[in-house]
A = this chain, B = another copy of it.
């Protein structure tokens, strides 16, 4: 499953360097459906709380029904980003987030897609070979409702000078 990106990483696909990013640029991902078995399997491993594991317990909880762990939503969002148009040279490397919210739960059967927008492009003062690109990635369900909003600072290399190794 990592082959496509590995190919990209090795230079066979167009890769985006710092110089290729502009404020207002938009990227879109493919879609992915999430089902209750996946929600429960992820929760068993990483977030074993009743509202992520069991329909009846979830019904009586804050979520009023089975809901994916927010970390599952985050991980699926990453998968969609890695497979999507945001093909950063050297890979998608995040230093952290300025904003990170889950405005509503992800439910079994939801189909997710990620829309990203470049908010800021900033060369690094201390490391001239790279810069930071601030990107807002909004994960939407099939109704177009945001389920995750994540403003990340990506570490992006500058394009190497011609002839440089």
Contacts and interface: CB of A to CB of B under 8 A. Distances in A.
Interface of A: 1-2, 4-6, 9, 42-51, 53-54, 57, 61-63, 69-71, 74-76, 78-79, 82, 90-97, 99-102, 149, 155, 157
A164 B165 CA distance: 71
A82 B2 contact: no
A149 B96 CA distance: 9
Nearest to A40: B2
Given A62-B93, A91-B61, A93-B62, A5 B44 contact: no
Given A71-B71, A90-B62, A50 B2 contact: yes
8 contacts: A9-B57, A47-B78, A49-B82, A61-B90, A62-B90, A96-B99, A96-B102, A97-B97
